[in-house]
Amino acid sequence: MSPTHRKAWLRSALAALLGGAAALAAAQDMPMHHPMAGPGTASAKPDTRILVKFPPRLRRAVLATMRMHLQGVSEVQQAMTAGRYGDAARIASMTLGMSAMADGQMQQEARYMPAGMRQMGSTLHMQAGEFVLAAQDAEATGDTRKPQVLFGRMLQTCVACHASYRLR
C-alpha cells in the first residue's frame, strides 16, 4: 500500500472502531503540529505529522506490532460485546500490554523516538494495564461501564499518536 492509501485505510479503520462521538472527542484532544507543510504535498490536506526515522528492520517490527494492536482492539471489542470480559482482559494483555512486545523491541524503539512519542507509547501500555484490571473486575462484578470507558480512552491514545507521528 502507498503511504497515502495506508493512511486513509488506517484512518477509516480507527474511525470505524471509535464511532463518531469518541472520534470527535479525540480530534479535539489531538496535539497539532505544523512542520514542513510546504508546497509539493500530494494529498489534498498537507501532512503535518512529524517524521520519525527508524532503521528498516525496526520499522517493520513496529508496524507488525501495530497490526497486532489493531487486531487486538478488534477482538477485545468483540469479546466485550459478547459479555466475555475475562476474554477481553486476556486478549488485551496479550496484544496491547507491555508483555505484547518482543524482548528488547521497546528499548530499541525508545532510542529513536522523540520524547512525546515515547510518552504516548508508555501511556498506551499503562492504559492497557488499567483496562485489563477493570475488565477482570467486570467479569466478577458485572459492572461493565468502567472497562468500556477505559477502552475508549485507550483508543484515543492510538489516534493521538497517529495524528502526530509517521515513520520512515
List interacting residues with ligand HEC (CB under 6 A): 3, 6-7, 10, 63, 66-67, 69-70, 73, 96, 117, 120-121, 124, 157-158, 161-162, 165-167
- Which residue lies nearer to ligand HEC by CB, 71 or 141? 71
User: E strands within the chain?
Assistant: 50-52, 165-167
As measured in angstroms, the least distance from the Cβ of 77 to ligand HEC is 11
* CB 164, min distance to ligand HEC, A: 8
Least separation in angstroms between CB 94 and ligand HEC? 13
Closest alpha carbon to 139 in 82, 96, 100, 97: 82
CA distance 66 to 161: 12
What is the rounded CA–CA span in Å between residue 90 and residue 136?
Answer: 9
CB 131 within 8 A of CB 144: no
Give 67 or 142: the residue with its C-beta nearer to ligand HEC: 67
Closer of 69 and 153 to ligand HEC (Cβ): 69
Query: Residue with C-alpha cell 462521538?
Result: 21
Nearer to ligand HEC, 137 or 165 (CB): 165
Q: How far is the CB of 133 from ligand HEC (least distance, A)?
A: 17
Q: How far is the CB of 141 from ligand HEC (least distance, A)?
A: 25
Q: Cβ closer to ligand HEC: 59 or 84? A: 59
Helix (H, G, I), strand (E, B) or coil at 4: helix
Grid coordinates given for 17 = 472502531
With 0-12 / 13-18 / 19 or more C-beta atoms within 10 angstroms meaning exposed / middle / buried, residue 157 is buried
